[in-house]
Amino acid sequence: MAEPRPGEGILLVDCNGVHTYGMRFALDIVFLDGKGKVLELLPALKPWKKPSRVPGAEYVLEIPAGTIKTSGTKVGDELTWREPANYSISVLSGNEGGRDPLSTDSGRNR
């Protein structure tokens, strides 16, 4: 992951915990409930950390270190966003349907 620039971030969906293993820079972390209410803030979380999960969190916003301070964001604030991401990432939990979940072959004969 490249270090985000001001105004950039990643919104993780269906998420209540993060880690910074393998990172080379700090991030501000914002835990949000399903309505966008700020539940917990972790300013400048350093690399190689794994903070506790946040009960009730459904979203995690990863933003450049210093953004929480600059924006004045506090626990209890409500954040909103308008546009969904152009893509999503899914983690497969097994070998559903007997096929290799990492295979790019659609199963069609060519």
Segments making up each domain of the chain, as ranges: 1-73
DSSP summary character for residue 63: E
pLDDT, position 81: 81
**CATH architecture of the domain with range 1-73:** Sandwich (2.60)
- By the 8 A CB rule, do 21 and 57 touch? no
pLDDT at 106: 42
The neighbour count for residue 33, using CB atoms within 10 Å, is: 16
- Bridge-based pairing of strands 27-32 and 38-45 is antiparallel
Ordered per-residue pLDDT tens for the chain, 110 residues: 678 888 888 999 999 999 999 999 999 999 999 999 999 999 999 999 999 999 999 999 999 999 999 999 999 999 988 766 565 554 544 544 544 444 344 444 43
Element (H, E) at 81: none
- Tokens 């999960």 belong to residue: 53
Write down the pTM of the prediction. Answer: 0.74
- Give the containing element (helix H, strand E) for 71: helix 67-71
